[in-house]
C-alpha cells in the first residue's frame, strides 16, 4: 500500500520537477525517508534511479526542441560522472543525521538565492569559453561528488551554476536535465554496487516518473515563463528543507 501511494506522489512531483530541469531526487530522498524507508539503503539509490528515468524522459523532449546545449554540457557531464561515484562511496562513512543536515543546508542556500534573483533579467551574454570550461570542469566534479553523497542528480546545483555563467533560464533547465542523466547513473551504480536497492519500490515509482516527466517537459517547453520556473524551483527547495529540519530536530 505504501509503495502504491509513493508512486502516486512521485508522478505528481515528476511533473513539477521536469519543468525545472531537475530529476527530483532532492525531494524523493526525504519523501521516501518520511515514508519509513531506510535513508541510505533505499531512499538514496531509488531517488537516483528515478532521476535517471525522469531526466531521460524530459531530455528527449528538450533535445527534439533544440533547447539543450549538448556541446557546452560536456565538461559538466565528464567531471560530475567522475565525482558521483566518489560521493556514493563516501556515503557509508557519513552518519545519516549529517547527510540530512547537509541536504537541508544545500537546499536553503540554493532556494534562497533563486527566490531573491527571480526578477532579474535574462543574461545578455555568456562567460568566455576558456573560463567557462574551467569553471564547469571543477564545479562539475564537486557537484557530482555532492550528488553521489546525498543521493541527488545535482540539477539543483547545475542550474544555478549555468545561470551564473550566462545561460538563459530555459536553456539552463533543459541542459541540466540532460547532464543529470549521467551524474544520476554514476551515483546509482555506485550505490547498487554497495548493495543498496529495493526493486518493488524502484520499478513502481519509475513507471510513475516516466509519465509525469513527459507531461511536465512539454508544459515547460510551451507555456512556462523563466520567472515562474525560478520561483517554483525556490519554493519547493525551501519547503522541503524546512520539513527535513523539523523532522531532524523534532
Angle between helices 169-193 and 129-150 (to 10 degrees): 40
CA–CA gap between residue 123 and residue 81 (Å, rounded) = 28
CA–CA gap between residue 170 and residue 225 (Å, rounded) = 8
CA–CA gap between residue 68 and residue 80 (Å, rounded) = 17
Write the DSSP symbol of residue 104: H
pLDDT tens, residue by residue, 92-110: 787 878 877 877 887 788 7
CA–CA gap between residue 39 and residue 95 (Å, rounded) = 10
Q: Is the pLDDT of residue 18 over 80?
A: no
CA–CA gap between residue 152 and residue 84 (Å, rounded) = 9
**What pLDDT band is residue 195 in, cutting at 50, 70 and 90?**
low
Under 8 Å between Cβ of 105 and 203: no
Under 8 Å between Cβ of 135 and 127: yes
Q: Work out the average pLDDT over 119-143.
A: 83
CA–CA gap between residue 145 and residue 141 (Å, rounded) = 6
Q: What's the first-to-final CA gap in the chain, in angstroms?
A: 27
- In this prediction, residue 224 carries a pLDDT of 66
pLDDT tens, residue by residue, 26-51: 778 778 877 888 877 788 888 888 88
- Residue among 117, 157, 152 nearest 139 (CA): 157
Q: Work out the average pLDDT over 63-90.
A: 88
For the chain, percent of residues with pLDDT exceeding 90: 9
Q: Is the pLDDT of residue 11 over 70?
A: yes
Per the model's pLDDT, the better-predicted residue between 88 and 175 turns out to be 175
Q: Is the pLDDT of residue 122 over 90?
A: no
CA–CA gap between residue 165 and residue 163 (Å, rounded) = 5
For the chain, percent of residues with pLDDT exceeding 70: 90
Q: Is the pLDDT of residue 226 over 70?
A: no
CA–CA gap between residue 48 and residue 88 (Å, rounded) = 11
- In this prediction, residue 170 carries a pLDDT of 84
193 CB burial (10 A radius; 0-12, 13-18, 19+): exposed
CA–CA gap between residue 178 and residue 98 (Å, rounded) = 29
5 CB burial (10 A radius; 0-12, 13-18, 19+): exposed
- In this prediction, residue 183 carries a pLDDT of 75
| Cα–Cα distance list, 78 to 71, 73, 75, 86, 142 (Å) | 12, 9, 5, 14, 12
Amino acid at each position: 500500500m505504501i509503495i502504491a501511494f509513493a508512486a502516486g506522489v512521485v508522478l505528481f512531483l515528476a511533473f513539477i520537477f521536469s519543468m525545472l530541469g531537475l530529476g527530483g531526487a532532492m525531494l524523493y530522498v526525504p519523501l521516501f525517508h518520511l515514508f519509513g524507508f531506510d535513508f541510505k539503503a533505499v531512499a538514496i539509490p531509488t531517488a537516483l534511479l528515478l532521476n535517471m528515468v525522469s531526466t531521460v524522459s524530459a531530455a528527449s523532449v528538450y533535445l527534439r526542441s533544440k533547447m539543450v546545449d549538448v556541446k557546452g554540457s560536456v565538461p559538466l557531464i565528464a567531471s560530475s560522472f567522475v565525482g558521483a561515484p566518489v560521493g556514493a562511496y563516501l556515503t557509508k562513512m557519513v552518519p545519516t543525521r549529517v547527510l540530512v543536515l547537509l541536504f537541508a543546508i544545500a537546499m536553503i542556500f540554493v532556494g534562497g538565492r533563486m527566490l531573491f534573483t527571480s526578477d532579474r533579467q535574462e543574461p545578455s551574454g555568456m562567460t568566455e569559453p576558456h573560463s567557462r570550461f574551467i569553471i564547469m570542469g571543477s564545479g562539475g566534479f564537486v557537484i557530482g561528488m555532492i550528488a553521489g553523497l546525498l543521493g541527488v542528480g545535482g540539477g539543483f546545483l547545475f542550474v544555478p551554476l549555468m545561470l551564473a555563467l550566462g545561460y538563459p533560464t530555459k536553456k539552463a533547465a533543459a541542459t541540466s536535465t540532460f547532464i543529470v542523466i549521467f551524474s544520476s547513473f554514476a551515483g546509482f551504480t555506485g550505490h547498487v554496487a554497495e548493495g543498496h536497492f529495493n526493486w518493488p519500490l524502484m520499478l513502481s515509482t519509475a513507471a510513475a516518473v516516466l509519465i509525469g516527466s513527459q507531461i511536465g517537459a512539454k508544459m515547460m517547453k510551451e507555456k512556462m515563463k523563466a520567472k515562474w520556473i525560478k520561483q517554483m524551483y525556490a519554493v519547493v527547495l525551501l519547503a522541503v528543507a524546512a520539513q527535513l529540519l523539523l523532522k531532524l530536530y523534532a
